[in-house]
């Protein structure tokens, strides 16, 4: 029997059913989540992109109108929704307790708030529960979640375990059991940790990876080092630049081209120092966060405006890095 081509890291990533994209604020979580969803839908996977906060960044990136709790179709095989705890609670009550959807939950919402404030994890489990339910019902092949930033995502992902410890028997216990099974299965669920290659985001990523490891059962599936400045000069070119910028040469060049040369040298210096700093921090991400998990570098995209063009470029980088 002849064996088919080996599964690439990207195939393996996109064969999961639930991918939580997280990282420090502002590092590119929404961009990476949108790019992964774009890649999945390009490969004919029925894809749901779910944003957990309602800041509207996805709408802006895709140039789409309002995206609410009910999924909106963005293109063939790609839908997007915004998580909403109250709508998720209503949907839960309808599915499991056959309660009709109400315009407002009124007193029930107050009762829910009371329980949610008293019992940690109850609010968070609605978010994770809705996503796991979509997996269980097989509505999509893959769900990519533009998750909350570092701190909050751990309590969301730990919630089925925490709530399961509060309710040992009954309906809630049954539900936390199947949710935990989905989340703890590395074939079905994973976290994609995004970081820029700088001191604070890398430090935060190291801590986040430790918290996920210690407090949840979900596995790390991918590390994305985002906005990396590629090195533009080889070692020899760098030496030539240094020589041209030496005192002897500088006078000659300035005589020929004027003071403009200074700006060029400063720009080249700045680029080189950011690029070598990025290189060091990518290395740290590789050794202290990723370990045996794939790490992909995504370059700082300069030539296209933010929005759809950026998603496309980032998707191409991820595809190339994981093939
Ligand atoms: N590879 C890249 N090259 C250039 N710009 C990028 C890249 N990735 C992200 N950006 C830009 O960085 C900014 C932050 O990106 P994004 O909104 O995806 O981050 P975020 O982690 O979701 O932020 P928040 O924590 O606020 O939700 C945006 O302006 C986006 O266009
Ligand atoms: Mg975001």
pLDDT higher than threshold 90 for residue 237: no
Buried b (16+ CB within 10 A) or exposed e, 274-286: bbeebbebbebbe
Mean pLDDT calculated for residue range 251-262: 76
Mean pLDDT calculated for residue range 43-71: 93
Is the pLDDT higher at 286 or at 269? 286
Residue 131 CB burial class (10 angstroms; 0-12, 13-18, ≥19): buried
pLDDT value of position 113: 62
d(C-alpha 249, C-alpha 241), whole Å: 10
pLDDT higher than threshold 80 for residue 189: yes
Residue whose structure tokens are 């990519």 = 144
Residue 249: pLDDT band (50, 70, 90) is: confident
- Pocket probe mutation, ligand 1, options 21, 24, 26, max atoms within 8 Å of Cβ: 26
pLDDT higher than threshold 60 for residue 127: yes
Is the pLDDT higher at 171 or at 264? 264
99, two tokens? 């309660």
Query: How are the residues of the chain apportioned to helix, strand and coil, as percentages rounded to the nearest 5?
Result: 55, 15, 30
Q: Which is the closest atom of ligand 1 to the Cα of 55?
A: 27
Mean pLDDT of the chain: 87
pLDDT value of position 44: 97
The dihedral through the CA atoms of 105, 110, 112, 113 has a sign that is positive
Q: Which is the closest atom of ligand 1 to the Cα of 194?
A: 21
Is the pLDDT higher at 211 or at 98? 211
- Give ∠ CA 72-78-80 in degrees, rounded to 5: 40
Instruction: Return the minimum-mean-pLDDT range out of 192-196, 221-225, 275-279.
Output: 275-279
Residue (of 206, 193, 211) closest to 151 by Cα position: 211
Which residues does a 6 A CB cutoff place in the pocket of ligand 1? 25-31, 57, 149, 226-227, 298, 300-301, 306, 310, 314
Ligand 1 centroid to 197 CA: how many Å? Answer: 13
For residue 230, give the ligand nearest its CA: 1
Q: Tell me the pairing of strands 295-299 and 220-228.
A: parallel
d(C-alpha 221, C-alpha 190), whole Å: 5
Mean pLDDT calculated for residue range 43-62: 93
pLDDT value of position 168: 64
d(C-alpha 130, C-alpha 140), whole Å: 13
d(C-alpha 157, C-alpha 218), whole Å: 7
Is the pLDDT higher at 96 or at 252? 252
pLDDT value of position 175: 77
- Pocket probe mutation, ligand 1, options 30, 196, 302, max atoms within 8 Å of Cβ: 30
Span 156-166, pLDDT tens digits: 888 877 766 76
d(C-alpha 32, C-alpha 117), whole Å: 32
Ligand 2 centroid to 20 CA: how many Å? Answer: 12
Q: Which is the closest atom of ligand 1 to the Cα of 31?
A: 18
Span 113-125, pLDDT tens digits: 655 565 566 678 8
Mean pLDDT calculated for residue range 223-250: 83
pLDDT higher than threshold 70 for residue 27: yes
d(C-alpha 29, C-alpha 58), whole Å: 11
Mean pLDDT calculated for residue range 69-81: 96
Is the pLDDT higher at 2 or at 187? 187
Q: Is the pTM of this model over 0.85?
A: yes
Residue 72: pLDDT band (50, 70, 90) is: very high
pLDDT value of position 233: 79
d(C-alpha 206, C-alpha 195), whole Å: 10
Mean pLDDT calculated for residue range 225-244: 84
47, two tokens? 């894809």
Q: What element of type H or E holds 321?
A: helix 308-321
Length of the chain: 323
DSSP string, 150-161: HHHHHHHHHHHH
Residue 80: C-alpha distances to residues 140, 162, 225, 265 (Å) = 12, 29, 25, 45
pLDDT value of position 240: 80
- For the domain spanning 9-230+282-321, the CATH number is 3.40.50.300
Residue (of 147, 209, 202) closest to 19 by Cα position: 147
Ligand 2 centroid to 21 CA: how many Å? Answer: 10
Ligand 2 centroid to 145 CA: how many Å? Answer: 11
pLDDT higher than threshold 70 for residue 100: no
d(C-alpha 153, C-alpha 240), whole Å: 48
What count of Cα atoms within 13 Å lies in the side-chain half-sphere of residue 219? 16
Mean pLDDT calculated for residue range 259-268: 76
Q: Which is the closest atom of ligand 1 to the Cα of 34?
A: 18
d(C-alpha 234, C-alpha 249), whole Å: 20
Q: Collapse the DSSP code of 54 into the 3-class scheme (helix H, G, I; strand E, B; otherwise coil) and give the result.
A: coil
pLDDT higher than threshold 90 for residue 9: yes
Ligand 1 centroid to 9 CA: how many Å? Answer: 24
Q: Collapse the DSSP code of 184 into the 3-class scheme (helix H, G, I; strand E, B; otherwise coil) and give the result.
A: helix
Residue 106: C-alpha distances to residues 82, 85, 87, 103, 110 (Å) = 22, 14, 13, 9, 7
pLDDT higher than threshold 70 for residue 98: no
d(C-alpha 50, C-alpha 259), whole Å: 52
Instruction: Return the minimum-mean-pLDDT range out of 138-142, 147-151, 206-210.
Output: 147-151
């Amino acid at each position: 029997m002849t064996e088919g081509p080996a599964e690439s890291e990207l195939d393996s990533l996109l064969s999961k059913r639930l991918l939580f994209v997280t990282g420090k604020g502002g590092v590119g979580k929404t961009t990476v989540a949108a790019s992964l969803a774009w890649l999945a839908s390009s490969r004919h996977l029925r894809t749901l992109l779910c944003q957990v906060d309602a800041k509207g960044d996805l709408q802006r990136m895709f140039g789409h109108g309002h995206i609410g709790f009910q999924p909106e179709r963005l293109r063939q095989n790609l839908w997007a929704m915004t998580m909403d705890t109250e709508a998720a609670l209503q949907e839960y009550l309808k599915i499991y307790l056959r309660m009709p959807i109400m315009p407002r939950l009124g007193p029930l919402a107050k009762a829910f708030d009371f329980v949610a404030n008293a019992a940690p994890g109850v609010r968070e489990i609605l978010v994770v529960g809705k996503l796991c339910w979509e997996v269980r019902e097989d509505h999509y092949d893959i769900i990519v979640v533009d998750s909350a930033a570092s701190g909050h995502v751990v309590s969301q992902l730990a919630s089925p375990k925490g709530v399961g410890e509060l309710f040992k028997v009954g309906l809630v216990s049954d539900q936390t059991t199947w949710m935990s099974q989905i989340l703890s299965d590395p074939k079905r669920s994973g976290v994609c940790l995004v970081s820029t290659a700088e001191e604070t985001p890398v430090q935060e990523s190291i801590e986040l990876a430790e918290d996920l490891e210690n407090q949840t059962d979900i596995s790390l599936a991918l590390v994305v080092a985002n906005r990396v400045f590629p090195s533009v000069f080889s070692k020899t070119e760098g030496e030539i630049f240094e020589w041209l910028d030496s005192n002897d040469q500088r006078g000659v060049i300035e005589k020929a081209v004027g003071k403009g040369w200074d700006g060029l040298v400063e720009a080249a210096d700045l680029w080189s120092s950011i690029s070598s700093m990025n290189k060091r921090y990518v290395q740290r991400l590789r050794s202290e966060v990723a370990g045996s998990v794939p790490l992909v570098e995504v370059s700082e995209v300069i030539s296209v405006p933010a929005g759809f063009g950026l998603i496309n470029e980032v998707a191409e980088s991820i595809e190339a890095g994981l093939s």
